[in-house]
Structure 1
Amino acid sequence: MNIYLWKEDIEDGESVMTAEYRPVEYGKDYDVVNNPDKFQLYIDGKEIK
């Protein structure tokens, strides 16, 4: 997900950061609702603990 400071920046501006919520084990069929502990948050590519 790309994060913007202003609604107007969405089409023409640059995002201020990128957030990803990825599974810890690639290729597994976990879903985030039932297995939130199997996912990790990343902001701008850095793992957030």
Structure 2
Amino acid sequence: MNIYLWKEDIEDGASVMTVEYRPVEYGKDYDVVNNPDIFELYIDGKEVKE
């Protein structure tokens, strides 16, 4: 997901950050609703830990 500060920035492609919520084993098809513990949060490519 690309994050923008203003609606107008979407058209220009000037995002301020990228957020990903992906499974630990990349390429696997997991259900995020029923198995959220096997997903990791990344902001601009860096993992976010609690």
Q: How does the TM-score come out when normalised to structure 1?
A: 0.90
Gaps of 5+ in 2: none
**AA partner of residue 32 (structure 2):** V
Q: Which 4+ runs in 1 deviate beyond 6 A?
A: none
Match in the other structure for 1:35: 35
The reply on whether 1:12 has 2:12 as its aligned counterpart is yes
Taking only the aligned residue pairs, the percentage that are identical comes to 90
* Cα distance, 1:15 vs structure 2: 0.2
Aligned length: 49
* Cα distance, 1:27 vs structure 2: 3.1
Match in the other structure for 1:2: 2
Gaps of 5+ in 1: none
**AA partner of residue 40 (structure 2):** Q
Q: How does the TM-score come out when normalised to structure 2?
A: 0.88
Let me know the Cα RMSD of the aligned residues. Answer: 1.1
